């Protein structure tokens, strides 16, 4: 059983609602993404379909999916939108268990 504390900021909910309305998907996938080969990977989100090896978390009516192996490494997530350091984009902060 994977226990994870997930916080979804109201600013993120507004923007996720827009994305879900404009797509045929109903799940929010947490992924790692490398912006360039010189940058460290960052945790991000996309709208996607659920896959067999995903773990599903339901938070405030939102369906968040994470690959089971990746999810087992995360203690908590905070998903927000906007702010000084990430104007007009999502920020996903992950606390990893080691």
State the DSSP string of 54-71. EEEEEETTEEEEEEHHHH
pLDDT tens digits for 65-98?
Answer: 999 999 999 999 999 998 766 678 899 999 987 5
pLDDT tens digits for 15-50?
Answer: 999 999 999 999 999 998 876 666 677 899 999 999
- Residue 76 structural domain: 5-96
As a whole number of Å, the end-to-end CA separation of the chain is: 17
- Angle among Cα 25, 72, 19 to the nearest 5 degrees reads 20
Residue 33: the pLDDT is 82
Cβ–Cβ under 8 Å, residues 80 and 12? yes
**The total number of structural domains that make up the chain:** 1
Whichever domain contains 9, its CATH number is: 2.60.300.12
Residue 42: the pLDDT is 85
Partners of 65 in the beta sheet?
29, 56
């Amino acid at each position: 059983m994977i226990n994870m504390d997930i916080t979804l900021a109201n600013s993120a909910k507004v923007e996720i609602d827009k994305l879900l309305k404009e797509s045929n998907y109903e799940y929010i996938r947490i992924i790692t993404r490398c912006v360039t080969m010189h940058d460290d990977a960052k945790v991000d989100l996309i709208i996607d379909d659920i896959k067999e090896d995903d773990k599903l978390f339901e938070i405030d009516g939102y369906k968040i999916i994470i690959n089971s192996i990746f999810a087992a490494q995360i203690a908590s997530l905070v998903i927000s939108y906007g702010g000084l350091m990430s104007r007009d984009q999502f920020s996903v902060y992950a606390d990893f268990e080691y």
